[in-house]
Chains A and B, each alone.
Chain A
Amino acid sequence: MNAFATLLPVIFPIIAGIALLPVKFKSRKQREMWVLSIVVLNAVFALYAIFGAGSPYVTLFTFNSKLSLALHVDGLSKVFGTMVSILWIITTIYAFEYMTHEGHEDRFFAFFIMTFGVVIGIAFAANFLTLYLFYEFLTLATLPLVMHQFDNKARHAGKTYVIYMMFGASLAFIGFVFIYCFGTTTDFVMGGVLNRNLVAGNEDVLRLVFVMAFFGFGVKAAVFPFWRWLPKASVAPTPVTALLHAVAVVKSGVFAIIRLIYYSFGTSFLIGTWAQNVVLIAAAITIVFGSTVALRTPHVKRRFAYSTVSNLSYIVFGVALMTPAGLGAGLLHMVYHAVIKITLFFTAGAILYKTHREYLYEMEGFGRLMPITFATMTIAGLGLIGVPPFAGFHSKWALATAAVNSGNPVAYIGIGALIISALLTALYIFYIVVRAYFPREKTYPEGYYDHVSDPNKYMTVPLVLLAIVSVIIGIFPEPLINFLNNVALGIL
């Protein structure tokens, strides 16, 4: 029974999504009811599997003694699974309203539901093969979402998306092969699975393979130099950009990196080596680079996409410190950033939906007319900069403290990157907010302020909810921090 409970949240949405593909709903109301019930039901399944069902190890299929498809819920799965489940519901509600202006909603929601199952599959994957499988599925399931509009821009973005993803997965695959050969098992075990006797003499080769696999998974996490697909993919409908490209897809990349470092190669094999330094520096470069480009991008959704590039590397940086404190800090930022960035994308989406404006200089003076949208953007923005007591301060604090305590001078570079990035973040967020509240011109051409108002409750309620959540987790961080630190220590 418990085994089935673990399997259900992975299988159910995939089947439901496929079943929905040929269905043509009669009315929007009917579709909304079906989609929402599937998503909520599956979120309940997932949360039950995470918190209620114990943690059975479910083997679905065995190829040989080392290769099998298996699911398992450990501490890391709990963090990722819970986060995804909750945010998926909120995004679904938001998407109902938003997608009315994009069209083809039947297809959209079918794939949207399927992706839910795939992401939970990544969260629950118990070994490298399962992770790899769902990782590839994720690319395929999200492709129709990225290319949703099927115009030339979307098609081009989709092509880039696939090429990058396949390239990354193939690099990761090399890592998989080496773990298969040099590991005692391909299961994920905290502390790593490398067989020391086999490794002896081949350390540098393995470290090279690690770096390759890191960058392979790093493609999804948009680590420099493989970030290019992410801003392009922001042609997708906003709920997709918000959920997939700020939370699910990119964080699957981070999640896979965590599995790679902590559960496959093992920190003791990597810490203090050149491989760690390469990874840390790549993260530091991405942090500054992402923020810099974000500041120069006037297209709001792309600006937030670049901001995501930067913030993902905060997480990667914490993870790459290879200490429990670093992993805890990375996970903390993973949660905070998920909430914040989804809020920001939703605000951009709300503006796009109401007014069809995409560039920040087209949004001047909107602040007063869309009070809820811009208030939530300001709150989320403060969190992203890391102004206490908003969410985002604590993760930055934890990251930097972990970096100081690691005593690695290369990690100090990362602290510098965090500080510079905070400055850039302040500029790229506040530029939008300030322009919105302090328009440059006294009067604008006729029609400029047409349709500028807050969207209806389908969109504002998720926004307000998320803003409240981000404030609450900023003011009461302790339970979350303790939980994540326990995960990082391998207690959960």
Chain B
Amino acid sequence: MNGNAILLLPMIFPILAGFIIGFQKEEKQRNTLVFIAMALETALVWFLCMGDYTLEAYRFTERLTIAYHTDGLAKLFACLISTIWLLAAVFAMEYMKHEHKPARFFMFYTFSIGALMSLCFAQNMMTLYLSYEFMTILTVPLVIHTGTPEAVRAGMKYLGYSIFGAGLGLLGFFFLNTYCETTTFIAGGTLNMTMVNGRENMMLVVFFLMAVGFGCKAGMFPLHAWLPTAHPVAPSPASAVLSGIITKGGVIAIIRVTYYLFGADFLRGTWAQYAVLTLAVITIFMGSMLAYKEKLLKKRLAYSTVSNVSYVVFGLMLLSPVGFMGALLQVVFHAIAKNILFLCAGAIIYKTGKTFVYEYKGLGKEMPIVMWTFAFASLSLIGIPPTSGFVSKWYLAQGGLAPEIGALGMTGVVILMVSALLTAGYLLPIVTDAFFPGKDYDYGSLKKKEPNLLMTVPLVLLSVAVVLFGIMPTPLTEIITNISGMIF
């Protein structure tokens, strides 16, 4: 152990807390504990992100160490993730009343944040890979929580795809271990150019495989198929964080590999860059299209995630500061908006049991707060100002239109626009149906179904964030400029 041991706390604490929570039979007591644990965790992470900490926690062998560091990227992701995790936990306290075995759910929910923090703060490839595997394994019980055969199948599919994706990442790691100076993340890349010399193409293949592998978690084509199966079967708070947060685990890995190991300069203008860009563009279009055709709301949202997270990959693969800015903004905004949408879907299921989009007529009158937040999140996802989604789209489009990317960037931007249109097509009708059920709607049957504060408060807070970031993106863009200043 070498460095600031305090940096180990955000990983260890949730593991300990999770065990305690897992054995609480009494609901009130458990909920209090969950809240305290999550709040403490969030406070701890925010506190750590104020400072600069480094820790070499453990050394397996010469090249394999567990090491953590709070660099700019880690701070951004860690703060975002821990905060949303806290809000979704509050929502889950109410939601899990109608599911069985809530203690087990909260136990794994608490464990998972430990793995995620480990992933955010990871300073080298070994730590990243370790956290990545644990993130998968600890979230599988969330997916199969309901225990139905369908859920178990979905869970196994999730597990299989994730392990295979991580395996491709590991494959790259084997090569990088030989062809990099070090597998510690260093802004700008660590490739050993004298060794790589003459083997550029092999290294590009390796990069491509790693991007596809880690892209699996981000729902990128061709390893996307698990996502629309696994996300909807989980209890809604879990779907929310799986879709909003866990997919970003793949994004972190891709950023680390692209900018901190290979380095943007090595990849710029190569076939590997264009190949991954193409995959991202395909995914964007395909996801939106499938979402448009889907009638089950949670599944529709899952397809939407497939599409939206590939916006991020698209931005990252532009390998320009503007694209990077757009990508990271999209990470934040999509995480917030998609959490709202899934939590709304959860609130609707919890109160009315309705799951199909055509059943939602008049819901706006029955649960106005829920549907209003749904509307805001939809606007953000489509990218209509003044909601935050507009800002990220703006940068993404600007990056895509940069002359050096050429026709592919242009196509990407066109697809972005088409996808925005499709997004409007699959989200707005739900909102309009909910608020304007039509003339022949029986208003007499309306009942007040607004859920209680445990559910509405997280929703409202997240919606405020959606709008606030849209109006005042400057603090966030400054942080991201600082990060990208290091790597370009």
Residue pair A478, B61 in contact (C-beta under 8 Å):
yes
Residue A415 interfacial (CB < 8 Å): yes
Q: A426-B160, A427-B159, A434-B152 are in contact. Are A439 and B167 (CB under 8 A)?
A: no
Contact of B61 among A400, A404, A477 (CB under 8 A): A477
Contacts of A481 in B (CB 8 A): 61
Residue pair B167, A423 in contact (C-beta under 8 Å):
yes
Contacts of B171 in A (CB 8 A): 400, 415-416, 419
Residue pair B163, A422 in contact (C-beta under 8 Å):
yes
Contacts of A400 in B (CB 8 A): 170-171, 174
Binds A, one of B13-21, B129-137, B249-257, B341-349: B129-137
CA A394 – CA B130 in complex, angstroms?
12
CA A133 – CA B155 in complex, angstroms?
51
Residue B7 interfacial (CB < 8 Å): no
Binds B, one of A121-129, A134-142, A384-392: A384-392
Contact of A427 among B144, B149, B156 (CB under 8 A): B156
DSSP class of A's interface residues: helix, strand, loop or mixed? Answer: helix
| Contacts of B378-410 to chain A: CB distance below 8 A | none
CA A382 – CA B126 in complex, angstroms?
16
Name the distance in Å between A31's Cβ and chain B's nearest Cβ.
43
Q: A397-B64, A478-B60 are in contact. Are A434 and B178 (CB under 8 A)?
A: no
| Contacts of A452-485 to chain B: CB distance below 8 A | 475, 477-478, 481
Residue pair A438, B137 in contact (C-beta under 8 Å):
no
Residue pair B160, A427 in contact (C-beta under 8 Å):
yes
Residue B140 interfacial (CB < 8 Å): yes
Contacts of B164 in A (CB 8 A): 419-420, 423
| Contacts of A129-182 to chain B: CB distance below 8 A | none
Q: A434-B140, A478-B60 are in contact. Are A385 and B163 (CB under 8 A)?
A: yes
| Chain A 383-419: CB-based contact to B (< 8 A → 1; otherwise 0) | 0010111000010010011011100000000011001
DSSP class of B's interface residues: helix, strand, loop or mixed? Answer: helix
Contact of B130 among A389, A422, A434 (CB under 8 A): A389
| Chain B 263-301: CB-based contact to A (< 8 A → 1; otherwise 0) | 000000000000000000000000000000000000000
A419 and chain B: residue at smallest CB distance: B167
Contacts of A435 in B (CB 8 A): 152
CA A426 – CA B140 in complex, angstroms?
12
Name the distance in Å between B308's Cβ and chain A's nearest Cβ.
27
Residue B147 interfacial (CB < 8 Å): yes
B148 and chain A: residue at smallest CB distance: A440
Residue A431 interfacial (CB < 8 Å): yes
Instruction: Say which size band chain A's interface belongs to.
Output: 20 to 34
| Contacts of B161-207 to chain A: CB distance below 8 A | 163-164, 167-168, 170-171, 174-175, 177-178
Contacts of B170 in A (CB 8 A): 400, 419, 422
Contacts of B152 in A (CB 8 A): 434-435, 438, 440
Residue A430 interfacial (CB < 8 Å): yes
CA A272 – CA B471 in complex, angstroms?
64
Contacts of A415 in B (CB 8 A): 171, 174
Residue pair B134, A404 in contact (C-beta under 8 Å):
no
Contacts of A426 in B (CB 8 A): 159-160, 163
CA A238 – CA B156 in complex, angstroms?
28
Tell me the number of A-to-B contacts counted with CB atoms below 8 Å.
Answer: 84
Residue pair A401, B159 in contact (C-beta under 8 Å):
no
Q: A415-B174, A419-B167, A419-B168 are in contact. Are A434 and B149 (CB under 8 A)?
A: no
B127 and chain A: residue at smallest CB distance: A388
Name the distance in Å between B214's Cβ and chain A's nearest Cβ.
13
Residue pair B144, A434 in contact (C-beta under 8 Å):
yes
CA A430 – CA B175 in complex, angstroms?
28
B205 and chain A: residue at smallest CB distance: A412
Name the distance in Å between B464's Cβ and chain A's nearest Cβ.
38
Contacts of A387 in B (CB 8 A): 130, 133-134, 137
Residue pair A423, B178 in contact (C-beta under 8 Å):
no
Contacts of B163 in A (CB 8 A): 385, 422-423, 426-427
Q: A434-B140, A477-B60, A478-B61 are in contact. Are A401 and B156 (CB under 8 A)?
A: no
Contacts of B58 in A (CB 8 A): 389, 475
Residue pair B167, A397 in contact (C-beta under 8 Å):
no
CA A419 – CA B209 in complex, angstroms?
12
Name the distance in Å between B283's Cβ and chain A's nearest Cβ.
21
Contacts of B133 in A (CB 8 A): 387-388
B178 and chain A: residue at smallest CB distance: A404
Residue pair A431, B60 in contact (C-beta under 8 Å):
no
Contacts of B126 in A (CB 8 A): 388
Contacts of B140 in A (CB 8 A): 430, 434
Name the distance in Å between B210's Cβ and chain A's nearest Cβ.
12
Contacts of A430 in B (CB 8 A): 140, 156, 159
Q: A404-B178, A405-B178, A477-B61 are in contact. Are A431 and B130 (CB under 8 A)?
A: no
Residue pair B144, A438 in contact (C-beta under 8 Å):
yes
| Contacts of B4-62 to chain A: CB distance below 8 A | 58, 60-61
Contact of B155 among A388, A416, A422, A434 (CB under 8 A): A434
Kindly name the residue among B60, B134, B159, B160 whose own CB sees the greatest number of chain A CB atoms within 10 A: B60
Name the distance in Å between B150's Cβ and chain A's nearest Cβ.
10
Contacts of A440 in B (CB 8 A): 147-149, 152
Contacts of B156 in A (CB 8 A): 427, 430-431, 434
Residue pair B160, A423 in contact (C-beta under 8 Å):
yes
Contact of B177 among A389, A401, A423, A437 (CB under 8 A): A401
Contacts of B168 in A (CB 8 A): 419
CA A238 – CA B177 in complex, angstroms?
40
CA A475 – CA B163 in complex, angstroms?
21
Name the distance in Å between B469's Cβ and chain A's nearest Cβ.
37
CA A405 – CA B61 in complex, angstroms?
18
A442 and chain B: residue at smallest CB distance: B147
A387 and chain B: residue at smallest CB distance: B133
Contacts of A394 in B (CB 8 A): 60-61, 64
Contact of A438 among B61, B147, B177 (CB under 8 A): B147
Give 3 closest A-B pairs by Cβ, nearest first: A419-B167, A400-B174, A423-B164
For the complex with contacts A389-B60, A439-B147, 4 further pairs of A-B residues with Cβ separation under 8 Å are A401-B174, A403-B174, A422-B170, A426-B159
A-B contact pairs, 5 of them (CB 8 A): A388-B130, A426-B163, A427-B163, A438-B155, A478-B61
